Structure 1
Amino acid sequence: MVEVKNSRRNMQADCQNCFGLCCTALNIVASSDFAMNKPAGVPCANLQSNFGCQIHHTLRNKGFKGCTVYDCLGAGQWVSQITFSGQDWRSKPEIAANMFQVFPIMEQLFEMIAFINEAISYDLSQPFSEQLLEQLEKMQNFIKLDVEGLLALHIPSIRQPINDLLLKTSEQIRKQFNMGNKNTRNTNCRGADWTGKNLKGKDLTATDLRGAYLIATNLQNADLRAADFIGADLRDANVCGANLSTAMFLTQMQINSAIGDDQTKLPFYLSMPPHWHNKKETD
Protein backbone atom coordinates (compact mmCIF):
# COMPACT_ATOMS: atom_id res chain seq x y z
CA MET A 1 0.00 0.00 0.00
CA VAL A 2 1.46 3.36 -1.01
CA GLU A 3 2.45 5.80 1.72
CA VAL A 4 0.43 9.00 1.68
CA LYS A 5 3.26 11.54 1.50
CA ASN A 6 1.47 14.62 0.20
CA SER A 7 -1.31 15.73 2.50
CA ARG A 8 -3.54 18.61 1.45
CA ARG A 9 -2.04 20.75 4.19
CA ASN A 10 1.41 20.48 2.59
CA MET A 11 0.29 21.15 -0.97
CA GLN A 12 1.02 24.85 -1.16
CA ALA A 13 2.64 27.09 -3.73
CA ASP A 14 6.22 28.15 -3.05
CA CYS A 15 6.79 31.05 -5.43
CA GLN A 16 10.40 31.52 -4.35
CA ASN A 17 11.25 28.14 -5.85
CA CYS A 18 9.24 28.63 -9.03
CA PHE A 19 10.32 30.43 -12.18
CA GLY A 20 7.19 32.56 -12.50
CA LEU A 21 5.33 29.87 -14.41
CA CYS A 22 1.84 31.18 -13.64
CA CYS A 23 3.04 34.57 -14.90
CA THR A 24 4.30 33.15 -18.19
CA ALA A 25 2.74 29.81 -19.16
CA LEU A 26 -0.92 30.70 -18.75
CA ASN A 27 -3.19 32.54 -21.16
CA ILE A 28 -4.85 35.53 -19.49
CA VAL A 29 -7.79 37.45 -20.91
CA ALA A 30 -8.49 41.00 -19.78
CA SER A 31 -11.43 41.11 -17.36
CA SER A 32 -12.46 42.48 -14.00
CA ASP A 33 -9.87 40.09 -12.54
CA PHE A 34 -7.00 40.93 -14.92
CA ALA A 35 -6.12 44.38 -16.19
CA MET A 36 -4.64 43.18 -19.49
CA ASN A 37 -4.44 40.40 -22.05
CA LYS A 38 -1.44 38.09 -21.81
CA PRO A 39 -0.96 35.23 -24.30
CA ALA A 40 0.28 31.86 -23.07
CA GLY A 41 4.07 31.66 -23.11
CA VAL A 42 4.56 35.42 -22.86
CA PRO A 43 5.90 36.79 -19.54
CA CYS A 44 3.68 39.25 -17.70
CA ALA A 45 4.94 42.82 -17.96
CA ASN A 46 5.14 42.92 -14.16
CA LEU A 47 7.43 39.88 -13.89
CA GLN A 48 10.91 40.89 -12.72
CA SER A 49 14.23 39.31 -13.67
CA ASN A 50 14.28 37.38 -10.37
CA PHE A 51 10.82 35.96 -11.19
CA GLY A 52 9.14 38.12 -8.55
CA CYS A 53 6.21 40.45 -9.19
CA GLN A 54 7.00 44.16 -9.08
CA ILE A 55 3.44 45.03 -8.01
CA HIS A 56 2.91 42.06 -5.67
CA HIS A 57 1.68 44.17 -2.74
CA THR A 58 -0.74 46.24 -4.83
CA LEU A 59 -2.12 43.64 -7.25
CA ARG A 60 -5.77 44.00 -6.21
CA ASN A 61 -5.64 47.81 -6.35
CA LYS A 62 -4.16 47.74 -9.85
CA GLY A 63 -6.73 45.42 -11.38
CA PHE A 64 -4.99 42.08 -10.93
CA LYS A 65 -7.31 40.48 -8.39
CA GLY A 66 -7.05 37.20 -10.27
CA CYS A 67 -3.35 36.95 -9.43
CA THR A 68 -4.13 37.06 -5.71
CA VAL A 69 -6.72 34.30 -6.17
CA TYR A 70 -4.56 31.87 -8.13
CA ASP A 71 -2.99 28.81 -6.45
CA CYS A 72 -1.10 26.00 -8.20
CA LEU A 73 -0.97 23.70 -5.13
CA GLY A 74 2.80 23.44 -5.56
CA ALA A 75 2.88 22.38 -9.21
CA GLY A 76 5.03 25.39 -10.12
CA GLN A 77 7.96 24.60 -7.86
CA TRP A 78 7.76 20.90 -8.78
CA VAL A 79 8.08 21.67 -12.50
CA SER A 80 10.84 24.20 -11.82
CA GLN A 81 12.93 22.20 -9.38
CA ILE A 82 12.13 18.54 -10.12
CA THR A 83 10.97 18.15 -13.72
CA PHE A 84 13.52 20.66 -15.04
CA SER A 85 16.12 20.16 -12.29
CA GLY A 86 16.31 23.84 -11.33
CA GLN A 87 16.94 25.07 -14.87
CA ASP A 88 14.99 28.22 -15.66
CA TRP A 89 13.53 29.34 -18.97
CA ARG A 90 15.39 32.65 -18.98
CA SER A 91 18.90 31.25 -18.73
CA LYS A 92 17.96 28.29 -20.96
CA PRO A 93 15.41 29.63 -23.47
CA GLU A 94 15.51 26.34 -25.38
CA ILE A 95 13.48 24.68 -22.58
CA ALA A 96 10.88 27.46 -22.31
CA ALA A 97 8.28 25.98 -24.69
CA ASN A 98 8.35 22.57 -23.00
CA MET A 99 8.28 24.07 -19.52
CA PHE A 100 5.25 26.20 -20.35
CA GLN A 101 3.44 23.17 -21.85
CA VAL A 102 4.22 20.91 -18.89
CA PHE A 103 3.08 23.37 -16.22
CA PRO A 104 -0.72 23.23 -16.88
CA ILE A 105 -0.48 19.43 -17.09
CA MET A 106 1.26 19.31 -13.72
CA GLU A 107 -1.36 21.67 -12.28
CA GLN A 108 -4.08 19.17 -13.10
CA LEU A 109 -2.09 16.24 -11.70
CA PHE A 110 -1.50 18.11 -8.45
CA GLU A 111 -5.18 18.99 -8.17
CA MET A 112 -6.11 15.33 -8.53
CA ILE A 113 -3.51 14.34 -5.91
CA ALA A 114 -4.96 16.91 -3.51
CA PHE A 115 -8.50 15.60 -3.93
CA ILE A 116 -7.41 11.95 -3.58
CA ASN A 117 -5.49 12.78 -0.42
CA GLU A 118 -8.57 14.41 1.02
CA ALA A 119 -10.77 11.44 0.08
CA ILE A 120 -8.34 9.04 1.76
CA SER A 121 -8.65 11.00 5.00
CA TYR A 122 -12.35 10.10 5.31
CA ASP A 123 -13.77 7.04 7.05
CA LEU A 124 -14.35 4.75 4.07
CA SER A 125 -14.48 0.99 3.59
CA GLN A 126 -11.09 -0.69 3.15
CA PRO A 127 -11.64 -1.84 -0.46
CA PHE A 128 -12.72 1.65 -1.44
CA SER A 129 -9.76 3.25 0.35
CA GLU A 130 -7.42 0.85 -1.44
CA GLN A 131 -8.81 1.93 -4.81
CA LEU A 132 -8.05 5.55 -3.90
CA LEU A 133 -4.54 4.61 -2.78
CA GLU A 134 -3.94 2.83 -6.09
CA GLN A 135 -4.92 5.97 -7.95
CA LEU A 136 -2.71 8.07 -5.69
CA GLU A 137 0.27 5.82 -6.45
CA LYS A 138 -0.37 6.24 -10.18
CA MET A 139 -0.52 10.01 -9.80
CA GLN A 140 2.70 10.12 -7.79
CA ASN A 141 4.38 8.17 -10.58
CA PHE A 142 2.96 10.48 -13.24
CA ILE A 143 4.40 13.63 -11.69
CA LYS A 144 7.86 12.01 -11.74
CA LEU A 145 7.77 11.50 -15.51
CA ASP A 146 10.18 13.36 -17.78
CA VAL A 147 9.00 16.03 -20.19
CA GLU A 148 8.17 13.64 -23.01
CA GLY A 149 6.23 11.39 -20.66
CA LEU A 150 4.22 14.27 -19.24
CA LEU A 151 3.37 15.70 -22.65
CA ALA A 152 2.16 12.27 -23.76
CA LEU A 153 -0.35 11.94 -20.91
CA HIS A 154 -4.05 11.98 -21.79
CA ILE A 155 -5.47 13.87 -18.84
CA PRO A 156 -9.20 13.15 -19.49
CA SER A 157 -8.65 9.38 -19.34
CA ILE A 158 -6.61 9.79 -16.14
CA ARG A 159 -9.21 12.04 -14.57
CA GLN A 160 -12.26 9.85 -15.26
CA PRO A 161 -11.63 6.95 -12.82
CA ILE A 162 -10.54 9.45 -10.15
CA ASN A 163 -13.68 11.51 -10.67
CA ASP A 164 -15.79 8.36 -10.29
CA LEU A 165 -14.09 7.57 -6.98
CA LEU A 166 -14.48 11.14 -5.73
CA LEU A 167 -18.18 11.04 -6.59
CA LYS A 168 -18.59 7.85 -4.59
CA THR A 169 -16.62 9.40 -1.72
CA SER A 170 -18.89 12.44 -1.76
CA GLU A 171 -22.03 10.32 -1.78
CA GLN A 172 -20.83 8.17 1.11
CA ILE A 173 -19.66 11.03 3.32
CA ARG A 174 -22.74 13.17 2.69
CA LYS A 175 -24.97 10.16 3.41
CA GLN A 176 -23.08 9.51 6.67
CA PHE A 177 -23.47 13.17 7.63
CA ASN A 178 -27.22 13.04 7.06
CA MET A 179 -27.81 9.82 8.99
CA GLY A 180 -30.42 10.56 11.63
CA ASN A 181 -31.17 13.94 10.07
CA LYS A 182 -34.91 14.25 9.51
CA ASN A 183 -34.48 17.17 7.11
CA THR A 184 -35.93 16.10 3.75
CA ARG A 185 -34.70 19.06 1.68
CA ASN A 186 -33.10 18.43 -1.71
CA THR A 187 -29.32 18.17 -1.39
CA ASN A 188 -28.66 17.51 -5.09
CA CYS A 189 -27.80 20.98 -6.38
CA ARG A 190 -25.08 20.00 -8.81
CA GLY A 191 -24.59 22.70 -11.45
CA ALA A 192 -27.16 25.01 -9.83
CA ASP A 193 -27.06 28.66 -10.89
CA TRP A 194 -27.33 30.61 -7.65
CA THR A 195 -25.57 33.71 -8.95
CA GLY A 196 -26.48 36.64 -6.70
CA LYS A 197 -28.96 34.57 -4.70
CA ASN A 198 -29.55 35.38 -1.02
CA LEU A 199 -28.92 32.21 1.01
CA LYS A 200 -27.93 33.93 4.21
CA GLY A 201 -28.08 31.60 7.20
CA LYS A 202 -29.38 28.65 5.18
CA ASP A 203 -28.76 25.04 6.12
CA LEU A 204 -26.84 23.68 3.13
CA THR A 205 -25.14 20.81 4.92
CA ALA A 206 -24.18 17.80 2.80
CA THR A 207 -25.35 19.56 -0.38
CA ASP A 208 -23.85 18.51 -3.71
CA LEU A 209 -22.63 21.82 -5.15
CA ARG A 210 -20.36 20.37 -7.83
CA GLY A 211 -20.07 22.82 -10.69
CA ALA A 212 -22.53 25.22 -9.07
CA TYR A 213 -22.46 28.93 -9.95
CA LEU A 214 -22.14 30.74 -6.64
CA ILE A 215 -20.92 34.04 -8.08
CA ALA A 216 -21.76 36.89 -5.67
CA THR A 217 -24.09 34.51 -3.79
CA ASN A 218 -24.87 35.61 -0.22
CA LEU A 219 -23.82 32.65 1.94
CA GLN A 220 -23.29 34.63 5.14
CA ASN A 221 -23.62 32.41 8.22
CA ALA A 222 -24.72 29.48 6.04
CA ASP A 223 -24.00 25.95 7.25
CA LEU A 224 -21.96 24.31 4.50
CA ARG A 225 -20.48 21.39 6.38
CA ALA A 226 -19.99 18.27 4.23
CA ALA A 227 -21.01 20.20 1.09
CA ASP A 228 -19.18 19.09 -2.07
CA PHE A 229 -17.52 22.04 -3.86
CA ILE A 230 -15.66 20.42 -6.75
CA GLY A 231 -15.77 22.84 -9.69
CA ALA A 232 -18.02 25.35 -7.91
CA ASP A 233 -17.51 29.01 -8.86
CA LEU A 234 -17.21 31.06 -5.65
CA ARG A 235 -16.10 34.36 -7.16
CA ASP A 236 -17.26 37.16 -4.85
CA ALA A 237 -19.48 34.75 -2.90
CA ASN A 238 -20.06 36.18 0.58
CA VAL A 239 -19.06 33.48 3.08
CA CYS A 240 -18.65 35.76 6.10
CA GLY A 241 -19.44 33.70 9.18
CA ALA A 242 -20.21 30.60 7.10
CA ASN A 243 -19.31 27.16 8.41
CA LEU A 244 -17.09 25.48 5.81
CA SER A 245 -15.09 23.55 8.39
CA THR A 246 -15.81 20.14 6.90
CA ALA A 247 -16.70 21.17 3.35
CA MET A 248 -15.43 18.66 0.81
CA PHE A 249 -13.00 19.23 -2.03
CA LEU A 250 -12.74 22.96 -1.41
CA THR A 251 -9.59 24.62 -2.78
CA GLN A 252 -7.53 27.59 -1.71
CA MET A 253 -8.25 29.19 -5.07
CA GLN A 254 -12.00 29.00 -4.48
CA ILE A 255 -11.60 30.52 -1.03
CA ASN A 256 -9.29 33.25 -2.35
CA SER A 257 -11.97 34.25 -4.85
CA ALA A 258 -14.69 34.53 -2.19
CA ILE A 259 -15.38 37.23 0.41
CA GLY A 260 -15.11 36.12 4.02
CA ASP A 261 -13.98 37.21 7.47
CA ASP A 262 -12.36 35.91 10.62
CA GLN A 263 -15.66 34.29 11.60
CA THR A 264 -15.64 32.04 8.53
CA LYS A 265 -14.80 28.47 9.51
CA LEU A 266 -12.47 26.86 6.98
CA PRO A 267 -11.12 23.33 6.58
CA PHE A 268 -7.84 22.89 8.46
CA TYR A 269 -5.77 22.74 5.25
CA LEU A 270 -6.90 26.15 3.94
CA SER A 271 -5.70 29.60 5.01
CA MET A 272 -7.69 32.79 5.43
CA PRO A 273 -6.82 35.14 2.53
CA PRO A 274 -5.23 38.46 3.57
CA HIS A 275 -8.01 40.49 1.91
CA TRP A 276 -10.61 38.94 4.22
CA HIS A 277 -9.54 40.96 7.22
CA ASN A 278 -12.03 43.45 8.65
CA LYS A 279 -14.95 42.45 6.44
CA LYS A 280 -18.32 43.48 7.86
CA GLU A 281 -21.62 41.68 7.43
CA THR A 282 -24.14 43.16 5.03
CA ASP A 283 -27.64 42.14 3.99
Structure 2
Amino acid sequence: MPSLGPRPSTLRADCRSCVALCCTAFGFTRSIDFAVDKPAGTPCRNLDSSYACTIHDSLRGRGFRGCAVFDCLGAGQAVSRRFAAELAAGPDARRSVFGVFGVVRHCHEMLWHLHEAAQRTRDDGTADAVHRLTTVVTRLVGDDLDLILAADVDPIHAAVGDILAEVSAEVRASYLADPDRPTGMPTATDLAGARLRGRRMCGADLRGACLIGADLRGTDLTAADLLGADLRDARLNGADLTGALFLTPSQVNAAHGDAATALPASLSTPQHWLGRA
Protein backbone atom coordinates (compact mmCIF):
# COMPACT_ATOMS: atom_id res chain seq x y z
CA MET A 1 0.00 0.00 0.00
CA PRO A 2 1.51 3.36 -1.02
CA SER A 3 2.16 6.03 1.56
CA LEU A 4 -0.22 8.89 0.88
CA GLY A 5 2.05 11.53 2.33
CA PRO A 6 0.88 15.07 2.95
CA ARG A 7 -1.68 16.76 0.76
CA PRO A 8 -0.60 19.94 -1.02
CA SER A 9 -0.35 22.89 1.37
CA THR A 10 -3.12 24.62 -0.60
CA LEU A 11 -5.54 22.02 0.78
CA ARG A 12 -4.71 22.68 4.42
CA ALA A 13 -6.70 25.23 6.39
CA ASP A 14 -4.74 28.22 7.70
CA CYS A 15 -7.15 30.32 9.76
CA ARG A 16 -4.48 32.97 10.37
CA SER A 17 -4.47 33.76 6.64
CA CYS A 18 -8.26 33.94 6.34
CA VAL A 19 -10.72 36.71 7.18
CA ALA A 20 -13.04 34.30 9.00
CA LEU A 21 -15.08 33.43 5.92
CA CYS A 22 -16.56 30.29 7.46
CA CYS A 23 -17.56 32.37 10.52
CA THR A 24 -19.33 34.94 8.34
CA ALA A 25 -20.52 33.40 5.07
CA PHE A 26 -22.35 30.42 6.52
CA GLY A 27 -25.42 30.50 8.70
CA PHE A 28 -26.36 28.02 11.40
CA THR A 29 -29.30 27.16 13.60
CA ARG A 30 -29.18 26.66 17.34
CA SER A 31 -28.71 22.96 17.93
CA ILE A 32 -26.43 20.46 19.62
CA ASP A 33 -23.67 21.75 17.34
CA PHE A 34 -24.28 25.50 17.67
CA ALA A 35 -25.23 27.43 20.80
CA VAL A 36 -27.01 30.24 18.94
CA ASP A 37 -28.73 31.08 15.67
CA LYS A 38 -26.66 32.98 13.11
CA PRO A 39 -27.92 34.18 9.70
CA ALA A 40 -25.74 33.57 6.67
CA GLY A 41 -23.60 36.55 5.69
CA THR A 42 -23.27 37.97 9.20
CA PRO A 43 -20.16 37.71 11.39
CA CYS A 44 -20.30 35.33 14.33
CA ARG A 45 -20.64 37.19 17.63
CA ASN A 46 -17.48 35.46 18.87
CA LEU A 47 -15.21 37.16 16.32
CA ASP A 48 -12.98 40.06 17.30
CA SER A 49 -11.96 42.98 15.10
CA SER A 50 -9.02 41.04 13.64
CA TYR A 51 -11.26 38.16 12.48
CA ALA A 52 -10.01 35.87 15.25
CA CYS A 53 -12.34 33.62 17.23
CA THR A 54 -12.34 34.65 20.87
CA ILE A 55 -13.41 31.20 22.08
CA HIS A 56 -11.37 29.07 19.66
CA ASP A 57 -9.74 27.05 22.45
CA SER A 58 -13.07 26.20 24.08
CA LEU A 59 -15.50 25.82 21.16
CA ARG A 60 -16.76 22.38 22.18
CA GLY A 61 -17.31 23.36 25.80
CA ARG A 62 -19.13 26.54 24.79
CA GLY A 63 -21.60 24.73 22.52
CA PHE A 64 -19.93 25.29 19.15
CA ARG A 65 -18.93 21.77 18.25
CA GLY A 66 -19.94 22.39 14.63
CA CYS A 67 -17.24 25.04 14.35
CA ALA A 68 -14.62 22.71 15.82
CA VAL A 69 -15.53 19.98 13.32
CA PHE A 70 -15.52 22.15 10.18
CA ASP A 71 -12.45 22.25 7.94
CA CYS A 72 -12.36 24.38 4.79
CA LEU A 73 -9.45 22.43 3.28
CA GLY A 74 -7.64 25.65 2.47
CA ALA A 75 -10.53 27.38 0.71
CA GLY A 76 -10.73 30.16 3.29
CA GLN A 77 -7.25 31.53 2.88
CA ALA A 78 -7.35 31.05 -0.91
CA VAL A 79 -10.52 33.12 -1.30
CA SER A 80 -9.40 35.70 1.28
CA ARG A 81 -6.19 36.28 -0.65
CA ARG A 82 -7.59 36.28 -4.19
CA PHE A 83 -10.63 38.42 -3.53
CA ALA A 84 -9.44 40.81 -0.83
CA ALA A 85 -10.49 43.83 -2.89
CA GLU A 86 -14.02 42.52 -3.35
CA LEU A 87 -14.33 41.75 0.35
CA ALA A 88 -13.51 45.39 1.09
CA ALA A 89 -15.75 46.83 -1.63
CA GLY A 90 -19.15 46.63 0.03
CA PRO A 91 -22.06 44.31 0.87
CA ASP A 92 -22.91 43.19 -2.67
CA ALA A 93 -19.33 42.29 -3.51
CA ARG A 94 -18.93 40.48 -0.19
CA ARG A 95 -22.02 38.38 -0.88
CA SER A 96 -20.49 37.34 -4.20
CA VAL A 97 -17.28 36.33 -2.44
CA PHE A 98 -19.28 34.32 0.09
CA GLY A 99 -20.80 32.42 -2.83
CA VAL A 100 -17.35 31.86 -4.30
CA PHE A 101 -16.15 30.52 -0.96
CA GLY A 102 -18.81 27.79 -1.03
CA VAL A 103 -17.80 26.74 -4.55
CA VAL A 104 -14.09 26.77 -3.77
CA ARG A 105 -14.63 24.75 -0.59
CA HIS A 106 -16.49 22.16 -2.68
CA CYS A 107 -13.70 22.08 -5.26
CA HIS A 108 -10.99 21.76 -2.63
CA GLU A 109 -12.75 18.72 -1.23
CA MET A 110 -12.73 17.17 -4.71
CA LEU A 111 -9.02 17.97 -5.05
CA TRP A 112 -8.38 16.42 -1.62
CA HIS A 113 -9.90 13.13 -2.78
CA LEU A 114 -8.35 13.25 -6.26
CA HIS A 115 -4.91 13.62 -4.70
CA GLU A 116 -5.49 10.38 -2.82
CA ALA A 117 -6.97 8.65 -5.86
CA ALA A 118 -3.86 9.47 -7.88
CA GLN A 119 -1.69 7.73 -5.31
CA ARG A 120 -3.91 4.72 -4.70
CA THR A 121 -4.63 3.58 -8.26
CA ARG A 122 -2.36 1.19 -10.13
CA ASP A 123 -4.27 1.53 -13.40
CA ASP A 124 -2.68 3.87 -15.96
CA GLY A 125 -6.02 4.77 -17.56
CA THR A 126 -7.54 5.64 -14.22
CA ALA A 127 -4.48 7.67 -13.29
CA ASP A 128 -4.82 9.67 -16.51
CA ALA A 129 -8.49 10.34 -15.81
CA VAL A 130 -7.66 11.50 -12.28
CA HIS A 131 -5.02 13.85 -13.67
CA ARG A 132 -7.45 15.33 -16.19
CA LEU A 133 -10.09 15.93 -13.55
CA THR A 134 -7.54 17.47 -11.21
CA THR A 135 -6.61 19.92 -13.96
CA VAL A 136 -10.26 20.80 -14.61
CA VAL A 137 -11.01 21.47 -10.94
CA THR A 138 -7.77 23.40 -10.38
CA ARG A 139 -8.51 25.71 -13.31
CA LEU A 140 -12.00 26.33 -12.01
CA VAL A 141 -10.78 27.75 -8.68
CA GLY A 142 -8.78 30.57 -10.24
CA ASP A 143 -8.95 34.34 -9.89
CA ASP A 144 -12.09 35.07 -11.92
CA LEU A 145 -14.96 35.62 -9.49
CA ASP A 146 -17.68 35.62 -12.15
CA LEU A 147 -16.32 32.44 -13.75
CA ILE A 148 -16.40 30.60 -10.44
CA LEU A 149 -19.94 31.76 -9.66
CA ALA A 150 -21.17 30.75 -13.11
CA ALA A 151 -19.49 27.35 -13.10
CA ASP A 152 -21.68 24.25 -13.37
CA VAL A 153 -19.96 22.16 -10.74
CA ASP A 154 -22.48 19.31 -10.64
CA PRO A 155 -21.21 17.44 -13.76
CA ILE A 156 -17.63 17.79 -12.51
CA HIS A 157 -18.63 16.49 -9.09
CA ALA A 158 -20.37 13.52 -10.73
CA ALA A 159 -17.29 12.72 -12.81
CA VAL A 160 -15.09 12.91 -9.73
CA GLY A 161 -17.49 10.62 -7.87
CA ASP A 162 -17.33 8.08 -10.69
CA ILE A 163 -13.53 8.01 -10.74
CA LEU A 164 -13.34 7.75 -6.95
CA ALA A 165 -15.69 4.77 -7.14
CA GLU A 166 -13.36 3.13 -9.68
CA VAL A 167 -10.35 3.65 -7.46
CA SER A 168 -12.29 2.40 -4.45
CA ALA A 169 -13.29 -0.80 -6.24
CA GLU A 170 -9.71 -1.34 -7.38
CA VAL A 171 -8.22 -0.89 -3.91
CA ARG A 172 -10.90 -2.83 -2.07
CA ALA A 173 -10.82 -5.76 -4.51
CA SER A 174 -7.74 -7.35 -3.00
CA TYR A 175 -9.37 -7.40 0.43
CA LEU A 176 -12.76 -8.53 -0.78
CA ALA A 177 -11.06 -11.46 -2.54
CA ASP A 178 -9.27 -12.53 0.64
CA PRO A 179 -10.38 -16.12 1.42
CA ASP A 180 -9.62 -15.56 5.09
CA ARG A 181 -11.90 -12.57 5.29
CA PRO A 182 -14.57 -13.23 7.92
CA THR A 183 -18.19 -13.39 6.83
CA GLY A 184 -20.82 -10.98 8.04
CA MET A 185 -19.24 -7.80 6.69
CA PRO A 186 -21.83 -5.06 7.23
CA THR A 187 -23.35 -3.74 4.04
CA ALA A 188 -26.16 -1.56 5.39
CA THR A 189 -25.77 2.20 5.07
CA ASP A 190 -27.57 2.85 8.37
CA LEU A 191 -25.09 1.74 11.01
CA ALA A 192 -25.86 4.38 13.63
CA GLY A 193 -24.87 3.00 17.01
CA ALA A 194 -23.69 -0.28 15.47
CA ARG A 195 -21.51 -2.48 17.65
CA LEU A 196 -18.53 -3.20 15.44
CA ARG A 197 -15.79 -3.24 18.04
CA GLY A 198 -12.73 -5.24 17.09
CA ARG A 199 -14.08 -6.22 13.69
CA ARG A 200 -11.85 -6.71 10.66
CA MET A 201 -13.58 -4.48 8.13
CA CYS A 202 -10.84 -4.33 5.52
CA GLY A 203 -12.25 -3.42 2.12
CA ALA A 204 -15.72 -2.58 3.45
CA ASP A 205 -17.84 -0.25 1.34
CA LEU A 206 -18.99 2.33 3.87
CA ARG A 207 -19.44 5.14 1.35
CA GLY A 208 -22.14 7.49 2.63
CA ALA A 209 -22.88 5.24 5.61
CA CYS A 210 -24.43 6.65 8.75
CA LEU A 211 -22.01 5.65 11.51
CA ILE A 212 -23.21 8.14 14.11
CA GLY A 213 -22.25 6.82 17.53
CA ALA A 214 -21.01 3.52 16.10
CA ASP A 215 -18.57 1.54 18.23
CA LEU A 216 -15.53 1.05 16.00
CA ARG A 217 -12.98 0.67 18.76
CA GLY A 218 -10.07 -1.54 17.75
CA THR A 219 -11.53 -2.00 14.26
CA ASP A 220 -9.29 -2.57 11.23
CA LEU A 221 -10.57 -0.24 8.51
CA THR A 222 -7.76 -0.76 6.03
CA ALA A 223 -9.04 -0.02 2.49
CA ALA A 224 -12.54 0.68 3.81
CA ASP A 225 -14.24 3.35 1.68
CA LEU A 226 -15.38 6.12 4.02
CA LEU A 227 -16.26 8.71 1.39
CA GLY A 228 -19.04 10.85 2.85
CA ALA A 229 -19.56 8.55 5.83
CA ASP A 230 -21.09 10.29 8.86
CA LEU A 231 -18.69 9.62 11.75
CA ARG A 232 -20.22 11.99 14.28
CA ASP A 233 -19.54 10.62 17.78
CA ALA A 234 -18.27 7.34 16.33
CA ARG A 235 -15.78 5.72 18.73
CA LEU A 236 -12.51 5.11 16.93
CA ASN A 237 -10.29 4.44 19.95
CA GLY A 238 -7.50 2.10 18.93
CA ALA A 239 -8.89 1.68 15.40
CA ASP A 240 -6.60 1.36 12.39
CA LEU A 241 -7.52 3.85 9.65
CA THR A 242 -4.05 4.25 8.13
CA GLY A 243 -5.20 2.74 4.83
CA ALA A 244 -8.83 3.89 4.90
CA LEU A 245 -10.11 5.49 1.71
CA PHE A 246 -11.22 9.10 1.27
CA LEU A 247 -11.21 10.24 4.88
CA THR A 248 -11.33 14.00 5.55
CA PRO A 249 -10.33 16.17 8.52
CA SER A 250 -13.97 17.05 9.20
CA GLN A 251 -14.92 13.39 9.52
CA VAL A 252 -12.08 12.76 11.95
CA ASN A 253 -12.87 15.91 13.94
CA ALA A 254 -16.47 14.74 14.36
CA ALA A 255 -15.47 11.38 15.83
CA HIS A 256 -13.95 10.26 19.12
CA GLY A 257 -10.55 8.59 19.29
CA ASP A 258 -7.35 8.51 21.26
CA ALA A 259 -3.58 8.41 20.88
CA ALA A 260 -3.83 4.75 19.87
CA THR A 261 -6.03 5.52 16.86
CA ALA A 262 -3.95 5.14 13.69
CA LEU A 263 -4.73 7.73 11.03
CA PRO A 264 -3.46 8.26 7.47
CA ALA A 265 -0.25 10.28 7.25
CA SER A 266 -2.18 13.19 5.74
CA LEU A 267 -4.35 13.65 8.85
CA SER A 268 -3.44 14.96 12.29
CA THR A 269 -4.79 13.61 15.55
CA PRO A 270 -7.52 15.99 16.79
CA GLN A 271 -6.66 17.76 20.01
CA HIS A 272 -9.89 16.68 21.69
CA TRP A 273 -8.83 13.06 21.26
CA LEU A 274 -5.92 13.85 23.56
CA GLY A 275 -8.00 15.74 26.09
CA ARG A 276 -6.64 19.15 25.03
CA ALA A 277 -9.79 20.77 23.68
Q: What's the TM-score, normalizing by structure 1? A: 0.90
Show the counterpart of 1:40.
Answer: 40
Q: Distance in 1 between matches of 2:126 and 2:180?
A: 28
Amino acid at match of 1:194: L
Q: Distance in 2 between matches of 1:131 and 1:145?
A: 25
Query: Is 29-38 or 242-251 further displaced after alignment?
Result: 29-38
Show the counterpart of 1:8.
Answer: 7
Question: Which 5+ residue runs of structure 1 have no aligned equivalent?
Answer: 1-5
What whole-Å deviation, never above 9, does each CA across 1:146-183 have from its counterpart, x for those lacking one?
11101111121111111111001100000023444432
Percent identity between the aligned chains? 38
1:51 and 2:55 matched? no
Show the counterpart of 1:3.
Answer: none
Match of 1:212, SS state, is coil
Show the counterpart of 2:270.
Answer: 273
Instruction: Kindly state the Cα deviation for residue 104 of structure 1 after the two structures are TM-superposed.
Output: 0.8
Residues 218 and 237, structure 1, Cα contact 8 Å, conserved in 2: yes
Question: Which 5+ residue runs of structure 2 have no aligned equivalent?
Answer: none
Instruction: Kindly state the Cα deviation for residue 78 of structure 1 after the two structures are TM-superposed.
Output: 0.7
1:95 and 2:84 matched? no
Counterpart of 1:155 (choices 137, 153, 156) is 153
| 1:1-283 mapped onto 2 (5 Å cutoff) | 8=7, 10=9, 11-82=11-82, 84=83, 86-87=84-85, 89=87, 92-183=90-181, 185=183, 189=187, 192-278=189-275
RMSD: 1.9
Query: Is 214-223 or 94-103 further displaced after alignment?
Result: 94-103
CA spacing shift, 1:188–1:157, aligned 2, 3 Å: farther
Instruction: Kindly state the Cα deviation for residue 101 of structure 1 after the two structures are TM-superposed.
Output: 0.9
Residues 182 and 200, structure 2, Cα contact 8 Å, conserved in 1: no
Instruction: Kindly state the Cα deviation for residue 210 of structure 1 after the two structures are TM-superposed.
Output: 0.8
Q: What's the TM-score, normalizing by structure 2? A: 0.92
Instruction: Kindly state the Cα deviation for residue 9 of structure 1 after the two structures are TM-superposed.
Output: 5.5
What whole-Å deviation, never above 9, does each CA across 1:76-125 have from its counterpart, x for those lacking one?
1111112x1x3373575452111111111111000001111100001421
